[in-house]
Structure 1
Amino acid sequence: MKCRDEVTVSNDHVSSPAPSDQTLQQKSNRNGYLMLAVILGPMIAAYLVFKTGLGMPTGTINKGELLTPAKLLFELNATDVDGNAVNWDQFEAHWRFLVPIMSPCEADCEQALYLTRQVHKRLNEKYPKVARWVLVDRALWNPALAQTLANEYQDSETLLVDAAEWHQWLAQTNSRDAIYYMVDNQGFAMMFYQRQHSGNDLLADIKRMLKLTREH
């Protein structure tokens, strides 16, 4: 009787066979894929939402209108005012206000230039973190406009493009009646503003963006 008990106890302590190297490798691979999915999944989803607008929430805290899909400004065949092709790599990674002039600069254009300039000034110590661009249709570029921008819109960069290319560039977006845009620090136009937007709207948006990307 005692022997049978000892045998039973002994059997209770028999360990199961050790997993093979192949099983351990498969488990390790599964864990690695799972970790990769956890890390990259949200990043890929956020990128797709940002680029396509798919799944973008309708109620956001932004004052401006989200441009969907966001458009990379560097896709445009822009030149400087002397006709030299723009090397986009020369520009620092700043947030930017972009004012397009694709028709004679009248009330809306003048409002966009004035408002973006004043908001830029109101950034105070954050002024250097933001740049201003004016994008002008080549057919409209003339000495009078050049003088106006030099006098009233200092510290801005003026680039020339063909109006047809500009409109084609925006054709598949939701941009409508926009008088100026916000461009992120990677060169994507990602928000647009209409005449009803105030300077306070733009100021609130750019401050929020600078706070979110304060490392730049």
Structure 2
Amino acid sequence: MKLNSQSILAAKNLKKIKSGNRFVQGLSILASVVLPITAAYVVYYTGLGVPKNTINQGELLQPPFDIAEIKITQQGQQFSLVSEAESKWRYLIISDSDCGKDCEDLLYISRQVHIRLGEKAHRVERLLVVSDSLDEKRQEQIQIQHPKLKIVNLDGENFKQLIEKTDHDSVTSTKALLVDQEGFAMMAYDRQHSGNQLLKDIKRLLKYSYEQ
């Protein structure tokens, strides 16, 4: 009986050790997935530990701006500027109501970047955000050239807030904002930035972020 008790105790201890090992292994696997993603976000949001000239091609917005603060009012109801149901990276092209030359250039550049993403293009969405109402004829012209583009009209107050909250000394008011999967505008570009620069940033971010 004494031997049996010792055997049972040893078996229980062995089971606990194996269970503990599985727990540690699980934590290790989780850490191997989460830590690189977290590190990538820290680098992009703060630039910590990386020389400034190698961090990003766009201009960092510090702090990042939560796009959820911008609301669209339709038929008496308020909606967020970007859909909370779809976890995507987004380019928000910000322009005045006529979408002039700078706006057209950014639409073209962002479209080419979107195409060049290939199989990862479904993780990115493009929106044109304009003040007040875009002329119906002008909107039709833009939609023909950019069939997958979403066009959003903001009232004067919300448009002004968006411009002010995403202002950057190195970027013009007509700009493209890169918005992460959580809805934070984190970088800004204008027509002085090339398609290759936009592509380099978004490809790196897609690589180090998970598809939800």
Query: What is the TM-score with the length of structure 1 in the denominator?
Result: 0.67
| Structure 1 stretches lacking a partner, 5+ long | 1-42
Assess, with a 3 A threshold, how the Cα gap between structure 1 residues 168 and 89 changes in structure 2: closer, same or farther. closer
Percent of residue pairs bearing the same amino acid type: 36
Structure 2 unaligned segments of length 5 or more: list them. 1-37
Question: In 2, are the aligned partners of 1:95 and 1:185 still within 8 Å (CA)?
Answer: yes
Alignment partner for residue 124 of structure 1, among 115, 118, 121?
Answer: 118
Q: What is residue 150 of structure 1 aligned with on the other side? A: 143
Q: Which residue of 1 aligns with 2:184?
A: 188
Displacement of 1:71 after TM fit?
0.6
SS at match of 1:85: strand
Q: Contact (CA 8 Å) 1:134, 1:157: kept in 2 or not?
A: yes
Runs (4+) of structure 1 exceeding 3 A deviation are 53-60, 82-85, 87-91
- Which residue of the partner structure matches residue 203 of structure 1? 199
Equivalent of residue 155 in structure 2, options 154, 157, 162 = 162
- Summarize deviations over 1:166-197 as a string: whole Å, max 9, x none: 33344255423152111000111100002211
CA RMSD of aligned residues (A): 2.8
8 Å CA contact retained: 1:69, 1:173: no
Q: Matches of 2:69 and 2:198 in 1, distance apart?
A: 25
Structure-to-structure mapping, 1:1-216, within 5 angstroms: 50=45, 58-79=52-73, 85-87=78-80, 90-138=84-132, 140-171=133-164, 173-175=166-168, 176-177=171-172, 178-216=174-212
Tell me the distance in 2 between the aligned counterparts of 1:125 and 1:97. Answer: 17
Q: For 1:86, what is the secondary structure of its paired residue?
A: strand
For the 8 Å contact 1:68–1:174, the answer to whether it is kept is no
Letter in 2 for 1:147: E
1: CA distance, partners of 2:124 / 2:71 = 23
Query: Do the aligned partners of 2:98 and 2:134 also contact (CA within 8 Å) in 1?
Result: no
What is the DSSP-based 3-state SS (H/G/I as helix, E as strand, rest coil) of the residue aligned with 1:117?
helix
Name the stretch that deviates more: 148-157 or 113-122.
148-157
Structure 2 vs 1, CA of residues 204 and 126 (structure 1 numbering), >3 Å: closer, same or farther?
A: same
Counterpart in the other structure of 2:15? none
Contact 1:181 1:191 survives alignment (8 Å): yes
Question: What is the rounded CA distance, in whole Å, between the counterparts of 1:54 and 1:170 in structure 2?
Answer: 24
Amino acid at match of 2:119: E
1:79–1:159 Cα contact (<8 Å) kept: no
**Which secondary structure state, in structure 1, belongs to the residue aligned with residue 144 of structure 2?**
helix
Separation in 2 of the partners of 1:197 and 1:144? 29
Greater share of residues in strand: 2
Work out the CA distance in 2 between the residues paired with 1:183 and 1:95. 6
**1-structure distance, mates of 2:129, 2:211:** 27
User: How many residues are aligned here?
Assistant: 167
Superposed displacement of residue 102, structure 1: 2.0
Report the AA paired with residue 201 of structure 1: Q
Q: 149-158 or 115-124: which moved more?
A: 149-158
